[in-house]
Amino acid sequence: MPLRAPFPKTVFVLTGAGVSAESGLGPFRDRGGMWARFDPMRLATPEAFAADPGTVLDFYNLRRRGAVAAAPNPAHVALAQAEAALAERGGRLFLCTQNVDDLHERAGSRAVVHMHGELLKGRCTACAGTFPCPGDLDVADACPLCSAVGTSRPDVVWFGEMPHHLDAIQAALSAADLFVAIGTSGAVYPAAGYVRLAQARNIPTCELNAEPSDNANAFDEARYGPASETVPAFLATLTS
C-alpha cells in the first residue's frame, strides 16, 4: 500500500538502535554489536543484577557515558521536525522508542515514549521510586528518595521485565493511520509485533532500515539505507 495523499494525520513511529547507530551508539545484533560482545543474560536481567550488581552497574555506567557524549544525527532531527510539522496541521507523530538514550529529546522531540526505559533515570528496588541519573551509579549509593543503600539501578527494562507505557502505546497504535519502523531488528517483542497490529488495522506500514529486518515481509513498503538519509527523505514526503 504505497503512501499517497491525503497525508496521514496520526503517525506511529517505532525506533530502535539503528536510529542512533550513526551517532556512534552501536546496535545490539549487528556483527560486532553489543550482544555479540557481551552476554545479555549476565548484564541485562534482574537475576544478573541480584548476582553481581557492580558488573551490571558498570556496564550501564559505560553505556550512559557513551550516550551522554553522543549527539543526535539527522534522523533524530527529522523526527523532531516532523512531530512539530504534523502538530501544526492538527496531526500527531507518536514516537515510541526502544532506545534508552535521550537523543530524540536532544534533537527536539517533545513527546518520546521510552518503552525500554531511560539510561538517564535511576530506580530504587526498595521504594520503586525513580530519580534523575546523569552520572554513574555505584553499589554503595543511597537512594535519594528513601535512603536505602545498594538498591539503585538504571531505570531500563531488562530481559524478563515488562516494557513501560504499554497502554499508551496500544492506544496510539489503535488511532494511527500510518506505522513506520526505523532501525529496529524486529527480533524483540512486544515491539516486533506492532507491525502485525498495524497490518490487522489495514493501515499502511513502512520499514526504514539498513537492511531487511526479521519481519520485513510484514511491511507494505521499505526503504533501505542509513537512517540519516532515509528518515529525512521519507518524512519529507509526509510533511511537505
Just list the catalytic residues. 116
Residue among 30 and 177 whose Cβ is closer to ligand OAD: 30
Shortest Å, Cβ 138 to ligand OAD: 21
C-alpha to C-alpha distance for 240 and 228, rounded to whole angstroms: 18
Nearest to ligand OAD of 136, 211 (CB atom)? 211
Q: What is the DSSP letter of 8?
A: P
Q: Is 150 left (phi over 0), alpha (psi -120 to 50) or beta?
A: left
Binding residues vs ligand OAD (CB under 6 A): 16-18, 21-22, 27-30, 33, 44, 98, 116, 157, 159, 183-185, 187-188, 209-211, 213, 226-227
Contacts of 208 (CB under 8 A, 6+ apart): 180, 181, 182, 183, 222, 223, 224, 227, 230, 231, 234
Compute the least distance from the CB of residue 179 to ligand OAD, in Å: 15
Q: Quote the crossing angle between the two packed helices 74-88 and 227-239, to the nearest 10°.
A: 10
Neighbours of 43 (CB within 10 A): 20
Assess contact for 222 and 207: CB atoms under 8 A: yes
Report residue 23 as a C-alpha cell: 551517532
Nearer to ligand OAD, 16 or 122 (CB): 16
Q: How far is the CB of 147 from ligand OAD (least distance, A)?
A: 29
Q: Which is nearer to ligand OAD, 18 or 204 (CB)?
A: 18
Query: What is the closest distance, in whole angstroms, from the C-beta atom of residue 26 to ligand OAD in the complex?
Result: 8
